[in-house]
Structure 1
């Protein structure tokens, strides 16, 4: 677990991911949290079943680079967002990060704080040299999170914008 000023960032185990997918408050109960009103997009549900769960189940892989990390507001004892890496570092030491804040918790700076915490953790992983992210061009909240965390936009396209943070260890 990673702690920031207001948040706990918890990597979910295989069994916890199963509960996350059920979205029946069983994960919140296990973690002794208040019920959440999170919803799972069809894209995330597909990624969980097709990629995340199989990768987390693979003992040859470091699950921390494949699992969903839930972001918990400690004071409220409630899940407010999620983030993940899209697999282990590639040959160049690059990893991709993805994130999303639950609708009712947007605008409170949770994701900026969570990404800051993850960057601090990633800096301690010797095999990681940089972090990559993509956002939709109109997603100004995600762009702001990346900018505030030092990511540089390097490839704006019609629909997607690519960002990178070199860790310079």
Structure 2
């Protein structure tokens, strides 16, 4: 089992290494075996597959450490010991301290508050990093579930470009949650 970097009430959230990202793409349960979790069938959405193959894997080639703002973080349900979704940052914080986050929860685990809790945990971790001053997110206008998650975490919509909505969260806007407590970061 890999030690989580972020832990919440229900989840261990683990940043994947280059080798683990390659296993993630295979969907042959080799990643699950390495992480010590139960194998549950999953698919890699086309947009995520492209990001992994074009951006993440090439940027991590030959690195001995995990670039935490440039890898996939897997969400492991502690009690069930299964992967339920993923999070990622879309690169290092820019000069203004902004970092964009992306996320997805597998179909069988949607509408259970899982992403709100996991994203809350990764937000807590991110704001503990000195370079991070603001977290951004992008959602499709039709993706109401994702918008609800962001609103629960106190993101504010600040821009719309065509069909895409842009959201922003600063540390001053973040409020500690009640039952979805984002947990602690290690």
TM-score normalised according to structure 2 size: 0.86
Q: Give me the whole-angstrom Cα distance separating, in 1, the residues matched to 2:73 and 2:159.
A: 27
- The answer for the alignment partner of 2:95 in structure 1 is 91
Is residue 101 from structure 1 mapped to residue 99 from structure 2 by the alignment?
no
Q: What does the per-residue CA deviation read over 1:97-125, in whole Å, with 9 as the maximum and x for residues that have no partner? A: 00000011111111000111011101110
From 120, 124, 135, the equivalent of 2:128 is 124
Is residue 74 from structure 1 mapped to residue 78 from structure 2 by the alignment?
yes
Q: RMSD across aligned C-alpha pairs, in angstroms?
A: 1.7
**Cα offset for 1:156?**
2.7
Instruction: Specify every segment of 5 or more residues in structure 2 that has no aligned partner in the other structure, as ranges.
Output: 174-186
Is residue 3 from structure 1 mapped to residue 38 from structure 2 by the alignment?
no
From 135, 139, 149, the equivalent of 1:135 is 139
After TM superposition, which residue ranges in structure 1, 4 or more long, deviate above 3 angstroms? Answer: 58-62
Report SS of the residue matched to 2:40. Answer: coil
More displaced stretch, 58-67 vs 12-21: 58-67
Paired residues, number: 169
Instruction: Specify every segment of 5 or more residues in structure 1 that has no aligned partner in the other structure, as ranges.
Output: none
- The answer for the alignment partner of 2:180 in structure 1 is none
Cα distance change, pair 95–7 in 1 and its aligned pair in 2 (3 A)? same
**Cα offset for 1:42?**
1.4
**Cα offset for 1:62?**
6.3
